[in-house]
Amino acid sequence: MADFSRIRGFSMREFLSLLLKFTDLEMELNAYFVGCEGRLDCYNPNFYYDEEREDHLVELYHFWRMNNRTHIFNFSTFTKEYTLSMYWSAMTMTTLGEQPAPNTSLQNAFEIVNTLAGLLLFAVIMGSVGDLVANANKVKTYWQTLMDGLKQYMTYRSLNESLQTKVLKYCEYEMAEETILKEHEVRDELPRKLYGHVTTSIIGRSLLNSPLFRISERSFLADISELLEPHYFCPGDVVIEKGQLCSSMFIIVCGRMVEVTDEDEIDHFEGEVLGDVNLIWFHNHLNHNRHKHNFISSAFSQIHMLSRDDFFKVLGSYDVTLRRRLCDVGKRFSFLFGPSF
């Protein structure tokens, strides 16, 4: 039965023919408006039906076509076919009963296959978009969940407000940075030698600025890099206390530290090496084996530390000549300038 809510004669067969060969717009208009050329009172009872949108069609035709307000654009056959396919797909997904019904078994099969393929493609696209959104918010979701648990824990333990604020600010910082892997996680995943090469490429220039490591062999620097331990500090954390033994060397990977002296405050920035020459102790000068000032982290800082025991463990596997050179450098800086910090 013909669909009288639509233009007569449009069927699945004609749609397939349009899909294979898209005719010009002018030919289509001439086909639908037979005998209307140059007439203002055009009316074809076999073509128009008693619906408001059909009645308005003649008025629109005279307004646009008869007054030369239209312009025909020529496109390639591929563009026309692709555009028609997209239009038909959009109409099929967004409307109900507005497309020509299939009449033959071949047309029914085409409808079924096309619908299933469209649903499959739609599901794949939506699944991919969902995965992208989930992965993009994975870090943020983790830290938000952790913050909720920490809030409950700190409230249960009745921690003071300042400490709770400090904990939450650290979580907010990590969530904003969107750090997926921590330094120790990277170290655990990579082979030891490979991680040493990665660390050397990051802090190698900082080590070369140190008077103690400037004269060292490249292999010695690589071995030292493998033993560096990453530590994280929040603003206001005391990294080094005055009077503490010089048992570690510090490399500021990111962030900032403040050295609090009796007269002033000295800022230390990313890339600086602190406490390198103080790894070497001298028994006849014990005052030089302790820190003279407090060091406080003034930002969220990542600091790599090398313990004195690890330093001499690596140094013991090298030639005596290197050990003597390093001791001479440490003695010269320690006795002439005092502790490096």
How long is the chain? 341
| pLDDT band at residue 38 under the 50/70/90 scheme | low
**DSSP code, position 250:** E
CA–CA gap between residue 194 and residue 222 (Å, rounded): 10
Cα 111 off chain centre by: 41
Global pTM exceeds 0.85: no
Decide if 168 contacts 147 (C-beta within 8 A): yes
Give me the residues paired with residue 303 across strands: 231, 252
| pLDDT band at residue 204 under the 50/70/90 scheme | confident
Instruction: For CA atoms 289, 290, 293, 297, give the dihedral sign.
Output: positive
**DSSP code, position 72:** P
CA–CA gap between residue 303 and residue 297 (Å, rounded): 10
| pLDDT band at residue 9 under the 50/70/90 scheme | very low
The pair of structure tokens assigned to 241 is 């206390």
Q: Which of 276, 277, 255 is nearest to 336 (CA)?
A: 277
Backbone dihedral angles phi then psi of residue 302, each to the nearest 5 degrees: -115, 120
* Cα 257 to Cα 83, 170, 228, 270, 301, distances in angstroms: 62, 17, 18, 9, 8
CA–CA gap between residue 95 and residue 117 (Å, rounded): 18
What are the pLDDT digits (tens) for 42-93?
555 555 454 566 667 777 777 777 777 767 777 778 888 888 878 877 776 6
Burial grade of 10 (CB within 10 A; 0-12, 13-18, 19 or more)? middle
SS3 helix, strand, coil % of the chain, rounded to 5?
55, 10, 35
Look over the chain and give the mean of its residue pLDDT values, rounded to a whole number.
76
The pLDDT of residue 48 is 47
